[in-house]
Each structure stands twice: as structure tokens, then as C-alpha cells.
């Protein structure tokens, strides 16, 4: 028999052997060094263990147990175990979703334990399972509290009323046995079997109750979330994570467990983008760490999906957007994501009337300069310690060497280095050719906007020449790039607009002299 997509233990417990129960409290905390402490989430409830035995009278019973165990691939796969002891004393069946039991304080204690499920054995031998919705009791006068509204006509103050979240196949009657269902897993892989004869004997089992958080997720009562984080070229990396405690295979992709959470995702029709805040356990290998500090040089996209562990292939995308910033929160990694609707708020910079060009260098829609002719490969020879970060690089090719050696030929350009998660991009502030001295070969000294964090000596880079956005400057559009036809500025801009100066007169109100 299955309940919420998980099997119920099918064999009777051997009452001739002692049944024991143990309770364990986890009060430990995990800290990282002497810095900010990071506390890992623990179970909401204490952990309960059961030791019991079942008696196999024949080979069919052993085969039944083996078939049941074959469904539980992996030690964390749970199943339902009916509690060896009765959960309540049945008194009256009211409907298929309501029954009365002897008053025992269950209305104050049922929600304090993870075993919030009941197993019914009816007098005709049939069984059923259901989840407890709530437990209520009337006051001494035999009436419900003012804020309760349940379909029970007469209230007995000596009884408690259990309301179920789903109907039973029949109304409970006299003789119905009620047990609590524990969601457990096997505590060990070994089986302890004491044989009395061929295909007969006693099997000793140990199980551990899984916390309510795990129960709700694995049985489909609570969704789990999948995160796919992707970076565009040239990084070309995708990371897959899940907030679940174990790895989840969905759509042929394995999502690794990670302590991640996200804020509420608002769905609106007003055209506004509602940002989503994400947090993750701090680790240098997590992609959120790439956003910290300098920008990575490529957009980082995120897709948040929702599914249920009972059917992880049936996913629903609940958010698709891009990560725009990663605020420093100290003890955890943070990131803020926005959807494409945020682009509607993007303001287009106005076109300035001036002597400098407004176009972006190498933009094929406006500037049209081909980048290949002004881009070359170099190798980092040394990192120079100075106030501004500097690199000594040597050219890998001699093509256009005379131009490349010109002062500030690469100023205003870019340096790109590394692949995948090691990709970095920097602006080149200045370039200076240092000629050979003695037996030492010459090198190009580059001043960067920021130091490299993931790459160093011996690594190949790609550098592109820059433009000072002037028409006739040494590093400008006409002389350096021969692209004056696409110049986006104005060669001559008058300081005064003569057409407007003639009407720029003052006219004070009153105080006129005749």
C-alpha cells in the first residue's frame, strides 16, 4: 500500500520481542574558522529512532520484505512505518473526514511532532491513511470556541475531534484501530536475521524518523526548488543547484544540493520588474562569488524552477532573469536578480553635441571598425607592483609591431584573459613600449583599470587598441582608424549660438522709466 507516493511497511511487528524507541536532540552548530559564523539549518523536531523485529513464518513473508526493500534504493529513501502503539482511543465516527477520540490533549501536541499522519485499520480488515488537518476540543459547556467552525452538531467536552485533510474510504466505526504513521528510513544497510528453520526466523530492524521538512518534500506535500545559473560567452558555464538536502535528477541533469534560498517571487501585470533576492552558503566555487567585487565581464542568468520530489521531471519555471548585483552580507553570499522587464526602465543616453565621437569602438552598427585588424595576442611576462596595476607583456606576433609600439596605442582599449570561470576583462588606461636594453628583449607595459584576480604570469591575453574619440587626434578616428566617414562627433562647434543670441534680451517687470 502506498500513501503520498511512498510505501507503507507491509509486515506486522513482532510483539513477542521488545520494541524500543530512542530520541536524539541535535544541538550542535557549525562555524567557519574565527570569522563570521554560518549556522546550518537543522530539523524542526527531535529525531526519533525505532528498534523492532518482524517474524517470518515462511518464504513468502521473506520475499514480501525483499520486494519492499527493493523499492528503497539509497539509504535516504523513506517509507511509512505504523507506530507500534495506538495513537488514540476511538470513540465515534462522524464523517469520512472527522472522528472523535477520548480526550487526551492531542489538540495541543499533534503539531509538535513530525508524525502528523494516521493509519486506520477498520473492523473489516481494510486499511487507509490520512493526514491530520487539525485537532479541536470543545470547552466545558460543550460548545466550540467562537472562532471555530466545524460540521459537528453536538460537542462532548470529554472528546477531541480529529479533522483529516482527505476523506477516508468509509466512516470509522466501533473497533477501528488508529496508529500514527512515522516517515522513516533504514538506519543501517545490514540485516540482522536469526533463523529458526528453513525460511523461518526473526529479523531485527532499526529505522530513523526523517524530519518533517524532508517528509513534506519527498512525499509531495512541499515543493523543492531548482536553480540553473548560466554565464554567456566567453565564460560559457552553467551551474545546477537544488535547495533540497540531496541531489535531484531532473530532465537528465543532476542538481547538486546547496544551502540556497530566495525571496518571494511576485507575479504582476503592471509591467514592473520585481527583484528577487537570493542567498547561498558562502563558498568560492559558488557562482555568486564571481559577482563579488569586479564585474565578471559576461551576463549571469538564473532560472528558478519548482517541482516535487515524487516527480522531479515535471518542473515549472517560476522566475527567469539576470543577476545584476551581489551586495556584501558577510556571513553568506547574496545576489539580486531582475527579470527582462527591468530593461524597460533602461534610459538611452542622449547624443551629445561636441567634438568627441559618441559611438562605441568596434560597434558594427555605428563605428563599423573591424576589431581583428586592431587586436593582437600577448603573453603576460610579469606583474608590476605599482599604485595602478601594470603588466609587462610580450607580443606573440610581429604583425603591425611598429603601430603597436606607439605610445598609448592600446589606451582606451580592452584586455581579455582566461576562459570559463577564469575569464576577466579590464580596461587599458595606458600603454608604453619599453625597448630592449642589453640582452633583455623589449616589452609592452600596460596600465589596467583594476588588477587581475584569477590570471598571472605566463597566461596569454588578447588586447585591443583604443580610441580617444577625436577626429584628428593621434589615436583618433581619422589618423589611427581611417574611419572619419563614420565619425559621430562635430569637427567645429561654436561656443555661442548666434541664432539665439539676438532674442536673448532681458525685460524686467515694472520699474520702467519713461
Q: In the predicted model, what is the mean pLDDT of residues 80-84?
A: 80
Instruction: Work out the angle at residue 71's Cα, subtended by the Cα atoms of residues 70 and 74, and round it to the nearest 5 degrees.
Output: 85
Residue 252 falls in which region: left (phi positive, over 0), alpha (psi -120 to 50) or beta: left
Residues in the chain: 514
E-strand stretches of 333-442: 333-338, 375-384, 390-395, 414-417, 424-434
For the chain, the average pLDDT equals 79
Task: State yes or no: pLDDT of 429 exceeds 60.
Answer: yes
Using 50, 70 and 90 to split pLDDT, how confident is the model at 41? Answer: very low
Helix (H, G, I), strand (E, B) or coil at 484: helix
Look at the block and give the residue holding cell 528510513.
185
Using 50, 70 and 90 to split pLDDT, how confident is the model at 241? Answer: very high
Are residues 463 and 428 in contact, defined by beta-carbon separation less than 8 angstroms?
yes
C-alpha cell at 14: 513482532
Kindly report, residue by residue over 59-68, the tens digit of the pLDDT: 888 888 888 8
Q: In the predicted model, what is the mean pLDDT of residues 87-105?
A: 81
Q: Is the peptide bond before 234 cis (omega within 30 degrees of 0)?
A: yes
Using 50, 70 and 90 to split pLDDT, how confident is the model at 380? Answer: very high
Say which range, 28-37, 212-221, 410-419, 442-451, has the weakest mean pLDDT: 28-37
Stated as kind and residue range, the H or E segment containing 404 is helix 401-404
Using 50, 70 and 90 to split pLDDT, how confident is the model at 302? Answer: very high
Q: How many CB atoms are located within 10 Å of the residue 354 CB?
A: 11
Q: What per-residue confidence (pLDDT) applies to 220?
A: 61
Task: State yes or no: pLDDT of 353 exceeds 90.
Answer: no
Q: What per-residue confidence (pLDDT) applies to 434?
A: 92
Which carries the bigger pLDDT value, residue 134 or residue 47? 134
Q: In the predicted model, what is the mean pLDDT of residues 72-79?
A: 70
Task: State yes or no: pLDDT of 447 exceeds 80.
Answer: yes
Say which range, 107-121, 309-323, 457-471, has the weakest mean pLDDT: 107-121
Q: What per-residue confidence (pLDDT) applies to 244?
A: 83
CA 95 to chain CA centroid, nearest Å: 43
- Sorted by sequence, the CB contacts under 8 Å of residue 420 that are 6+ apart come out as 235, 236, 237
Stated as kind and residue range, the H or E segment containing 500 is helix 498-501
Which CATH superfamily is 371-486 part of?
A: Translation factors (2.40.30.10)
Q: What per-residue confidence (pLDDT) applies to 37?
A: 44
Q: Where are the domains of the chain?
A: 2-209, 223-345, 371-486
Q: In the predicted model, what is the mean pLDDT of residues 83-102?
A: 79
Sign of the Cα torsion 339, 343, 346, 349 reads: positive
Task: State yes or no: pLDDT of 460 exceeds 70.
Answer: yes
- Sorted by sequence, the CB contacts under 8 Å of residue 96 that are 6+ apart come out as 164, 167, 168, 169, 170, 171
Which carries the bigger pLDDT value, residue 222 or residue 381? 381
Kindly report, residue by residue over 178-216, the tens digit of the pLDDT: 888 888 888 777 778 888 888 888 888 888 887 666 666
C-alpha cell at 28: 550542535
Q: What per-residue confidence (pLDDT) applies to 436?
A: 87
Task: State yes or no: pLDDT of 128 exceeds 80.
Answer: yes
Q: What per-residue confidence (pLDDT) applies to 151?
A: 55
Task: State yes or no: pLDDT of 320 exceeds 50.
Answer: yes
Helix (H, G, I), strand (E, B) or coil at 481: coil
Are residues 135 and 162 in contact, defined by beta-carbon separation less than 8 angstroms?
yes
Task: State yes or no: pLDDT of 500 exceeds 60.
Answer: no
Which carries the bigger pLDDT value, residue 243 or residue 448? 448
CA distance linking residue 41 with residue 37, whole number of Å = 13
Kindly report, residue by residue over 283-300, the tens digit of the pLDDT: 878 888 877 665 666 788
Stated as kind and residue range, the H or E segment containing 401 is helix 401-404
Task: State yes or no: pLDDT of 97 exceeds 80.
Answer: yes
Q: What is the DSSP letter of 192?
A: E
Amino acid at each position: 500500500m502506498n500513501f503520498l507516493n511512498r510505501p507503507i511497511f507491509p509486515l506486522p511487528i513482532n510483539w513477542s520481542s521488545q520494541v524500543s524507541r530512542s530520541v536524539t536532540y541535535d544541538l550542535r552548530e557549525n562555524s567557519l574558522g574565527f570569522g563570521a559564523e554560518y549556522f546550518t539549518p537543522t530539523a524542526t523536531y527531535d529525531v526519533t529512532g525505532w528498534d523492532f523485529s518482524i517474524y517470518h513464518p515462511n518464504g513468502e513473508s521473506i520475499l514480501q520484505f525483499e520486494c519492499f526493500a527493493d523499492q528503497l534504493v539509497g539509504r535516504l529513501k523513506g517509507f511509512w512505518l505504523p507506530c507500534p502503539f495506538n495513537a488514540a482511543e476511538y470513540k465515534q465516527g462522524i464523517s469520512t473526514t472527522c472522528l472523535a477520540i477520548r480526550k487526551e490533549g492531542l489538540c495541543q501536541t499533534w503539531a509538535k511532532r513530525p508524525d502528523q499522519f494516521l493509519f486506520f485499520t477498520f473492523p473489516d480488515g481494510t486499511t487507509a491513511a490520512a493526514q491530520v488537518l487539525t485537532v479541536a476540543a470543545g470547552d466545558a459547556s460543550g460548545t466550540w470556541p467562537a472562532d471555530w467552525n466545524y460540521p459537528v452538531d453536538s460537542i462532548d467536552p470529554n472528546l477531541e475531534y480529529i479533522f483529516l485533510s482527505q476523506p477516508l474510504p468509509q466512516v470509522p466505526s466501533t473497533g477501528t484501530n488508529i496508529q500514527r504513521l512515522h516517515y522513516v528510513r533504514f538506519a543501517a544497510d545490514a540485516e540482522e536475521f536469526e533463523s529458526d528453520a528453513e525460511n523461518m526466523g526473526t529479523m531485527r530492524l532499526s529505522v530513523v524518523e526523517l524530519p518533517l521538512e524532508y517528509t513534506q518534500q519527498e512525499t509531495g506535500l512541499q515543493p523543492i526548488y531548482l536553480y540553473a545559473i548560466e554565464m554567456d560567452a566567453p565564460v560559457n558555464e552553467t551551474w545546477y543547484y537544488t535547495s533540497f538536502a540531496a541531489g535531484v535528477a531532473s530532465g537528465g541533469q543532476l542538481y547538486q544540493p546547496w544551502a540556497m534560498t530566495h525571496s518571494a517571487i511576485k507575479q504582476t501585470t503592471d509591467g514592473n520588474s520585481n527583484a528577487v533576492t537570493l542567498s547561498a552558503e558562502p563558498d568560492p566555487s559558488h557562482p555568486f562569488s564571481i559577482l563579488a567585487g569586479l564585474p565578471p565581464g559576461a551576463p549571469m542568468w538564473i532560472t528558478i524552477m519548482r517541482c516535487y520530489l515524487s516527480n522531479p521531471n515535471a518542473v515549472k519555471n517560476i522566475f527567469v532573469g539576470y543577476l545584476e548585483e551581489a551586495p556584501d552580507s558577510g556571513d553568506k553570499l547574496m545576489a539580486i536578480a531582475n527579470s527582462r522587464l527591468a530593461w524597460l526602465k533602461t534610459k538611452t543616453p542622449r547624443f551629445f553635441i561636441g567634438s568627441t565621437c559618441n559611438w562605441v569602438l568596434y560597434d558594427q552598427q555605428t563605428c563599423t571598425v573591424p576589431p581583428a585588424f586592431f587586436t593582437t595576442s600577448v603573453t603576460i611576462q610579469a606583474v608590476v607592483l605599482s599604485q595602478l596595476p601594470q603588466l609587462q607583456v610580450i607580443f606573440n606576433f610581429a604583425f603591425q609591431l611598429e603601430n603597436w609600439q606607439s605610445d598609448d596605442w592600446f589606451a582606451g582599449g580592452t584586455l581579455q584573459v582566461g576562459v570559463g570561470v577564469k575569464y576577466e576583462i579590464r580596461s587599458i588606461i595606458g600603454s608604453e613600449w619599453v625597448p630592449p636594453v642589453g640582452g633583455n628583449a623589449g616589452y609592452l607595459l600596460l596600465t589596467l583599470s583594476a588588477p587581475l584576480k584569477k590570471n598571472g604570469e605566463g597566461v596569454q591575453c588578447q588586447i585591443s587598441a583604443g580610441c580617444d574619440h577625436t577626429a584628428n587626434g593621434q589615436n583618433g578616428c581619422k589618423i589611427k582608424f581611417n574611419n572619419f566617414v563614420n565619425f559621430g562627433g562635430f569637427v567645429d562647434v561654436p561656443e555661442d549660438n548666434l541664432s539665439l543670441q539676438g532674442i536673448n534680451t532681458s525685460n524686467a517687470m515694472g520699474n520702467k522709466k519713461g
